[in-house]
Each structure stands twice: as structure tokens, then as C-alpha cells.
């Protein structure tokens, strides 16, 4: 599996940047010729991961959220959403559906949505150092768009 | 964005655009303010013009269900676009019987 394209972006952990983040990742995926449904799945999963970082990572103020995305020659999109915030003490618990530490009417479905809307979700976190969420999505028609991705 | 109308005891909130964690609190504030002053028997959330929604939209529905129930009214969620059906099904909101 070879990486054929990659991108990095970073932005302040302000909620107004949630739409920018998912739109940027969606635009990056376009050369793989995703279906409307695949693109919506990725946008939704990215929005959840970015929102988690914005809501939880920097409780004392704003920090930076980093996104790294790559496309492989097998048509897989790999998207890493990373922060250098407080970290998650208990990842297993945080990933339970309906679990939320926020009082702001959050549904507690963030990780459930990420898992349902992508093919693989990995979470690595160290308390006091930050969290990385890696999303993988296979774009099924990718062979049609491969030339453009190259 | 949301366009709110009141007629025959029903508040109808026509939502449009994208619903995420940034937008949801603004929608919540506008819908709750109208419901608290009008005390409708029914609140209808119309998703027909919503192009994108993450789980913040589910939180918005769950919160409005609680709010209108406390006011003695009932909630209906209508015109859910096909592309949003997946997240509604995942949320289990169907069990509340509010999705029309």
C-alpha cells in the first residue's frame, strides 16, 4: 500500500473551524471520486473527531488541532485528527455510546458515529500530552479516480 | 439557520444548512425562546433543508424533546433527508416515536 497524496493542516480549536475542517478533508478526497454517501460519511466522522478535540482537549482556552490526511494506491483515505491537549484518561469509557462529560447537550455519540461511518477508528491518548484519532475509509470507486489522485 | 412559525398551537422550526456543534446552540436558543413564550402543544422540527448534520443535531433533537415535554407539548421530526437517515437510525431516536 503506497501513499499517493497527503496533506496537513492546523487550526485553532474554535468551534467555527469545524465546518472548515470537514470541508477541507472532503475536498482533499475528491480525486478518489467518492460517492456522495462516502463523502458525507467522512465529513460526519471528521466533524465528530474535530468537535471532540475542540470541546475536550483544551479546557483552559484554545489550542491547536492538527489534521493529516493521506490517500493510498488502494483507494484508502487515512485521516488523523490530533491535539496536544489534556488527553483521555479512559479511552474505553469515552468510546461507550451515550457517554459524555460535556453538559452542552452533546449526545455522547461521537465515537459511535466515527465507528459506524468509517471502516476503522483508532484512538491513542496520553493524559497531559494529547490525543490522536485515526480514521480510515475505503473509497470503493477509487480506481476510477486514481489517475487524478496521482 | 432556522425559520420559526406558529400556527394552530404548533411551532414549526424549519432548519436549513449545516448543523454542527458550532451552530446547534444558536438553533437551540431560538427554538427554546419561541417555545417558552408560546407554550405550543406541538413542536415540529423540519429537517428538509438540512444538508449536513453530525451528532450535534441528534443532541439538538434530544434536548428539544426534553424541553417540549417539560412544557407539556410533544415533538415531531419531519422531512429527514435520505443522507441524514443513517445518523438518525444510529441515534436510536426512532424509539422515542418522534420521527415522522
- Per residue in A91-133, pLDDT tens? 888 887 766 666 567 678 899 999 999 999 999 999 999 999 9
**Rounded distance, CA B71 to CA B41, Å?**
8
For range B66-90, the mean pLDDT: 95
Residue A150 resides in a domain: no
Residue A95: inside a domain? yes
Instruction: Name the residue range of residue A107's domain.
Output: 3-144
The number of beta carbons lying within 10 Å of the beta carbon of residue A66 is 16
The whole-number pLDDT of residue A89 equals 87
Give how many domains chain A has, as a whole number.
Answer: 1
Q: CATH number of the domain that B12 lies in?
A: 3.30.750.24
Measure the CA–CA gap between A11 and A20, rounded to whole angstroms: 9
Nearest residue in B to A100, CA atom: B59
Answer whether residue A47 is part of any domain. Answer: yes
Q: How far apart are CA B24 and CA A31, in angstroms?
A: 31
Strands across the sheet containing B10-19: B2-7, B10-19, B42-53, B74-78
Separation CA B69–CA B72 (nearest Å): 5
Report the distance separating Cα A8 and Cα A28, nearest Å.
10
Do the beta carbons of residue A123 and residue A131 sit within 8 Å?
yes
Q: How confident is the model at residue B25 (pLDDT cuts 50, 70, 90)?
A: very high
CB contact under 8 A, B21 and A117: no
Matching residue, cell 458550532: B22
**Residues in chain A closer than 8 A to B22 (CB atoms):** 15-16, 18-19
**What number is the average pLDDT over the span B1-7?**
96
Alpha carbon of B61: minimum distance to chain A alpha carbons (Å): 9
Q: What is the DSSP letter of A37?
A: H
* Residue in chain B lying closest to A44 (CA): B54
Retrieve residue B21's grid coordinates.
Answer: 456543534
Residue B30 structural domain: 2-96
Distance from CA of B59 to the nearest CA of A (A): 5
CATH number at residue A135: 3.30.565.10
A94's CB contacts (< 8 A; 6+ apart) are A88, A111, A123
Conformational region of residue B8, where left means phi above 0, alpha means psi within -120 to 50, and beta covers everything else: left
Cell matching residue B93:
431516536
- In this prediction the pTM is 0.92
CA distance A58 to A43: 23
- Of B29, B39, B63, give the one whose Cα is nearest residue A107: B63
Query: What total number of domains does chain B contain?
Result: 1
| ipTM metric | 0.93
**Residues in contact with B64: Cβ distance below 8 Å, sequence separation at least 6, in sequence order:** B28, B31, B32, B35, B43, B45, B75
Amino acid at each position: 500500500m503506497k501513499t499517493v497524496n497527503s496533506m496537513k493542516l492546523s487550526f485553532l480549536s474554535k468551534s467555527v473551524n469545524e465546518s472548515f475542517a470537514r470541508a477541507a478533508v472532503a475536498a482533499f478526497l475528491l480525486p478518489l471520486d467518492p460517492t456522495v454517501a462516502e463523502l458525507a460519511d467522512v465529513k460526519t466522522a471528521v466533524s465528530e473527531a474535530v468537535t471532540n478535540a475542540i470541546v475536550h482537549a483544551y479546557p483552559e482556552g484554545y489550542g491547536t488541532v492538527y489534521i493529516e490526511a493521506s490517500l493510498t494506491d488502494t483507494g484508502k483515505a487515512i485521516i488523523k485528527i490530533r491535539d496536544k491537549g489534556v488527553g483521555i484518561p479512559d479511552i474505553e469509557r469515552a468510546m461507550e455510546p451515550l457517554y459524555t462529560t460535556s453538559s452542552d447537550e452533546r449526545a455522547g455519540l461521537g465515537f459511535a458515529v466515527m465507528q459506524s461511518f468509517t471502516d476503522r477508528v483508532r484512538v491513542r491518548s496520553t493524559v497531559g500530552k494529547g490525543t490522536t484519532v485515526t480514521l480510515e475509509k475505503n473509497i470503493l470507486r477509487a480506481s476510477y479516480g486514481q489517475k487524478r489522485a496521482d | 439557520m432556522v425559520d420559526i412559525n406558529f400556527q394552530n398551537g404548533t411551532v414549526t422550526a424549519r432548519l436549513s444548512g449545516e448543523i454542527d456543534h458550532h451552530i446547534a446552540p444558536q438553533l437551540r436558543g431560538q427554538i427554546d425562546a419561541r417555545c417558552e413564550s408560546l407554550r405550543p402543544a406541538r413542536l415540529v422540527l423540519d429537517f428538509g433543508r438540512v444538508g449536513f448534520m453530525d451528532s450535534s443535531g441528534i443532541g439538538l433533537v434530544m434536548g428539544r424533546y426534553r424541553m417540549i415535554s417539560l412544557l407539556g407539548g410533544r415533538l415531531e421530526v419531519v422531512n429527514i433527508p435520505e443522507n441524514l437517515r443513517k445518523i438518525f437510525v444510529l441515534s436510536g431516536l426512532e424509539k422515542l416515536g418522534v420521527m415522522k
